[in-house]
Structure 1
Amino acid sequence: MSDSLPVIRLMNKHGDLVARDGLALCFFMRHSHRDVADRVWSCLEKYRRAIPPLALGWYGADDGDMLPLDEAGWTHIRQQIVERAWGGEWLVDLSELPGGASDYHFGYDGRKLDDPIFSRDDRATSGLCFLFPTEYLMTHSPEHFRTLALEIARELPFSFGYASPALISSSGAWFSLRKQVQEVLQRYLGLDLPRLGDTSRNIGTRARGAYWLTFLGQPLLSQLGGREIVEQQLDLPGVSVQAVDEERILVTLGEWPEAIDTENHAIPLPYREMTRVLEPFLHEEEVTGLPWDPITLRLRSHRLRR
């Protein structure tokens, strides 16, 4: 239910908003940028049409500055995603604000996987992530959000994707409040901390964890035994399994997303069972320098203690 989603505002000592509650929609593809560039641009256009006008107002320039995302800026971003053929990595960072915790954000980390840097590394992917404020879900409904997530998913040759309640912040800004972030994530086990660069460099064709919307593509779905096996293992009230196409599925864990407040509630059975199903193929993501486990390990450790 909607009351399971917390309102979180983390401020720095100057009173600036650094991190807040929101929703993350992320996908990881074991495909080179050149093979998915047009699809990534199409998904960005779907995102732009779904969010308020001018909700994306700034972009990260190559020198690290944040520049206004005006008409010239959009021309540059399209050139960066669709037209630039050279290079080994394509990085796009679009946000509502030039710093702090933007309500809306788009990130893309594309790679040339046959480049010598990545060709012998089966962990690297091209990944993209869309962020929304929690208010978007409240205004438009979970079904609207799931429909949008499916429209985006159908464009992408993902191995794994997910949508989840999340703690959202501009890139790396939350690190200055890592103690507060730690406390929030240890209480809310279903709250994600999107880290697109680190995850997309290392997830390969594995799963990141059990989420409200969990997208399973190839080869991951086949490794799990296929759609029928996943359906049998997750035959639980409130859980639905539907086809994205013949080789990909979406597993939905309940009508509403769950932040999983461990001070007041037990971990819902669907999340524990989804973690169990994915366990042989979970990506154990390291969070360098931070004293907590990501959602994969937090959910799994609580499940095993029950």
Structure 2
Amino acid sequence: MIGRLASFRIHDDRGRVVLRDGLIFCFFMRRSHGEIAAGVWRALQAYRRAIPSDALAWYVKPDGEWDPLEEEGWEFVREEILETPWPTGSEVRLQESPVEVCAYSMEYSGKWLDAPAWKGDGEAVSAVAFTLPTEYLQTHGPGQVRALALEMAAELPLSFGYVSLSFISPGGLRNPARKALQELCSRYPGLDVYNLRPTARSIGTRARGAYWHTFLGQPLLGQLGGMESLRERLSSSISLETLDGERLCLCLGEWPLLGDEQPDDETEPYRALARVLEPHLYEERHPWLIDEVFERRWLRRFLRSGEKSREVL
């Protein structure tokens, strides 16, 4: 399996990496910032224990400028997560480099859902994402990736979350990345494409898709009929693990899906889960991927036959 994992770097005209392969851990919570701040901080500490001590080296200040993430920077991050008062939202972005895409990053968008900006909006959520290099999976194996995901998920009252191989692009796609992405998507349909903040503004309690590790919480899990209903509708190749707080982790195989060339028995769990999730699948309110048609087809790629999905991506 190790030799089949993706490895690529897309550069801009100045030679900087704007898109690369990696792993993403992403969680959406229909909760206000004040309810989840301590859990987000603990999840960040779990992530930091799993990565090199200098992997997160830069942070974004309130004025939008990057600063080195030294002692003063970490104090700012702690205060931004744990002490941001109502009704101001909490926005944190940490990266390995301020000028190009590297393997390690953390993004958090925390909202006070009862604040004037969001009150009455049933679509906005708080969300957090962490990324790792693909090499982490190769070096430590899928068991350790799963253990880290479960450790972070234990701190977060998620409605939906996932772990997946991914096209890494903190803060959203840059133009050179968009140009390369259509071809890459056709080669690697198992990789996620994400943009945390716009998705968090409108995903509500819906699902974003079927992923290697898919986390379901309330109210989404209840809308799907609960664990027993899912067990009856999904094949035995998908493992289901109950978590505290009426939540569930579904694992779609020992290793994550990569490309369309993998055997049907490796792609079928993704298609089976996508069919179950279909009534509750999310569609981006403001398309940001390539265009609206491509984006909708990408998000629903596991609902199409293998031949058809190759045609449209």
Q: Which residue of the partner structure matches residue 271 of structure 2? A: 272
1:92-111 aligned within 5 A: 92-111=92-111
Q: Within 5 Å, give how 1:248-287 maps onto structure 2.
A: 248-259=247-258, 261-262=259-260, 268-285=267-284, 286-287=286-287
- The CA deviation string for residues 112-150 of structure 1, in whole angstroms up to 9 with x for no partner, is 101122111111000000011100111111000001100
Cα 1:303/1:219, change in 2 over 3 Å? farther
Task: Work out the CA distance in 1 between the residues paired with 2:206 and 2:157.
Answer: 14
CA distance in 2, matches of 1:33, 1:246: 18
**Quick one: which of 292, 295, 305 aligns to 1:293?**
295
Higher mean Cα deviation, 221-230 or 291-300?
291-300
Give, in whole Å, the separation in 2 of the partners of 1:36 and 1:183.
38
Question: Between Structure 1 and Structure 2, how many residues are aligned?
Answer: 304
Gaps of 5+ in 2: none
In structure 2, what is the equivalent of residue 221 of structure 1?
Answer: 221
1:12 Cα deviation after fit: 1.5
Q: Give the percent of matched residue pairs that are identical in Structure 1 and Structure 2.
A: 45
CA distance in 2: counterparts of 1:17 and 1:244, whole angstroms: 38
- Cα deviation for residue 9 of structure 1 reads 1.0
Aligned position for 1:140? 140
CA contact (8 A) 1:284 1:297 kept: no
Quote the residue 1:19 is aligned against. Answer: 19
Q: Distance in 2 between matches of 1:170 and 1:39?
A: 21
For residues 195 and 3 of structure 2, the distance between their equivalents in structure 1, rounded to whole angstroms, comes to: 26
Residue 256 of structure 1 aligns with an amino acid whose one-letter code is W
User: How far, CA to CA, are the matches of 1:43 and 1:11 in structure 2?
Assistant: 31
Q: Which moved more, 1:13-22 or 1:100-109?
A: 13-22
Map 1:18-97 onto structure 2 (within 5 A): 18-97=18-97
**Structure 1: gaps of 5 or more residues:** none
Q: Distance between the aligned counterparts of 1:11 and 1:70, measured in 2?
A: 28
Q: Deviations over 1:149-202 (max 9, x none)?
A: 001101110000001110112423533331101211133212111211011111
Deviates more, 1:155-164 or 1:294-303: 294-303
User: Residue 235 of structure 1: CA displacement?
Assistant: 2.3
Question: Displacement of 1:282 after TM fit?
Answer: 0.5
Matched residue type, 1:280 = P
Moved more, 144-153 or 176-185: 176-185
Q: Distance in 1 between matches of 2:136 and 2:261?
A: 26
TM-score by length of 1: 0.94
For 1:186 and 1:130, locate their aligned partners in 2 and report how far apart those are by CA, in whole Å. Answer: 25
User: CA RMSD of the aligned region, Å?
Assistant: 1.8
TM-fit CA distance, 1:93: 0.1
Query: What secondary structure sits across from 1:7 in the alignment?
Result: coil
2:231 matched to which residue of 1? 231
Displacement, 1:301? 3.3
Change (3 A) 1:95 1:188: same
Note the C-alpha offset of 1:236: 3.0
- Mapped contact 1:100–1:170 kept (Cα < 8 A): no
Shift of 1:75: 0.4
Aligned-residue offset at 1:50: 0.9
Distance 1:164 1:40 in 2: 20
